[in-house]
């Protein structure tokens, strides 16, 4: 039940607005909790729908937002000095970061499924590891095998569904014709350790179901902060949830 609800948050346009707000609030809270306590230089290579660069700059950090195409920058976004930080946007290859020297940044944010929409994620993670300073950190969010199985089941691809857990690389077609790369916990951990990064923690992005969140918010519209705190404190299996969030550091 929870798996189906959580997966629908990503693949179903009719998902309730209350759950979308909850999903976005949890994403922001996880990022804020991950951010360094002191001002640092961060690179954001998240997808075009993420507001992580703005949030990090508002928290006081210097943020370089890298996009593959300037047209992908949301209309709300703008360079400048939000809060006490500094935000700059440039167009570059987010999969190689070739324009950045080795060991030049303190952190990399790869939210909004960046490592799922870039199907060749291994070179991308290697580039992240290259530009990080020693003890630098990365935060990433990817689509999980749980979501991949839900999508294949919805498309009635039963033979593919049976083979999914044994596949080394899992590429799932969306109904719109695009492809997403999905990861199990072991695959995701290996992706980062293979690039010389040590995994600090991994967890599902959300575990609370749409029905639970909608019911709680309908009864008490002011309960969103308490729901988010409860979500972040929930203990759950790494393999659970439609998306996985991982934090790793450079040794």
Domain ranges across the chain:
2-250
d(CA 17, CA 76): 20
Q: What is the pLDDT of residue 167?
A: 74
Q: What is the pLDDT of residue 74?
A: 60
CB-CB neighbours of 247 under 10 Å: 19
Q: What is the pLDDT of residue 144?
A: 93
d(CA 92, CA 75): 19
DSSP reduced 3-state for 93: coil
Q: Mean pLDDT in runs of 10 for the chain (251 residues)?
A: 36 65 94 96 91 94 90 62 83 94 98 93 97 98 90 75 73 87 94 97 91 93 95 79 94 92
Fold of 2-250: Rossmann fold (3.40.50)
CA angle 155, 119, 19 (to 5 degrees): 55
Q: What is the pLDDT of residue 176?
A: 80
Q: What is the pLDDT of residue 242?
A: 86
Q: Across the chain, where does the E strand assignment appear?
A: 41-44, 62-67, 86-91, 105-110, 132-144, 170-173, 179-183, 197-204, 243-250
What pTM, to 2 d.p., does this model score?
0.88
Q: How far does the chain reach from its first CA to its final CA, in angstroms?
A: 39
Each residue of 191-223: b (16+ CB within 10 Å) or e? Answer: bbeebebebeebbbbbbbbbebbbebbeeeeee
């Amino acid at each position: 039940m929870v798996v189906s609800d959580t997966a629908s948050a990503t693949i179903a346009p009719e998902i309730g607005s209350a759950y979308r707000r909850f999903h976005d609030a949890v994403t922001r809270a996880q990022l804020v909790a991950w951010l360094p306590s002191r001002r640092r230089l961060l690179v954001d290579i998240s997808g075009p729908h993420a507001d992580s660069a703005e949030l990090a700059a508002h928290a006081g950090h210097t943020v370089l937002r890298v996009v593959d195409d300037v047209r992908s920058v949301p209309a709300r976004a703008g360079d400048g000095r939000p809060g006490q930080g500094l935000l700059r946007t440039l167009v570059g290859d987010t999969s190689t970061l070739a324009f950045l020297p080795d060991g030049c940044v303190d952190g990399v944010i790869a939210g909004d499924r960046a490592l799922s929409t870039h199907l060749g994620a291994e070179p991308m993670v290697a580039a992240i590891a290259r530009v990080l300073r020693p003890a630098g950190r990365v935060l990433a969010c990817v689509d999980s095998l749980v979501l991949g199985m839900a999508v294949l089941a919805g498309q009635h691809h039963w033979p593919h569904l049976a083979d999914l857990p044994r596949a080394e690389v899992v590429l799932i077609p969306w109904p719109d014709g695009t492809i997403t790369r999905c990861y199990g916990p072991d695959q995701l951990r290996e992706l980062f350790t293979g690039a010389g990064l040590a995994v600090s923690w991994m967890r599902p992005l959300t575990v609370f179901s749409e029905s639970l969140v909608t019911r709680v918010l309908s009864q008490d519209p002011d309960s969103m902060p308490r729901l988010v705190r409860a979500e972040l404190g929930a203990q759950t299996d790494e393999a659970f949830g439609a998306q996985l969030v991982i934090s790793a550091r450079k040794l």
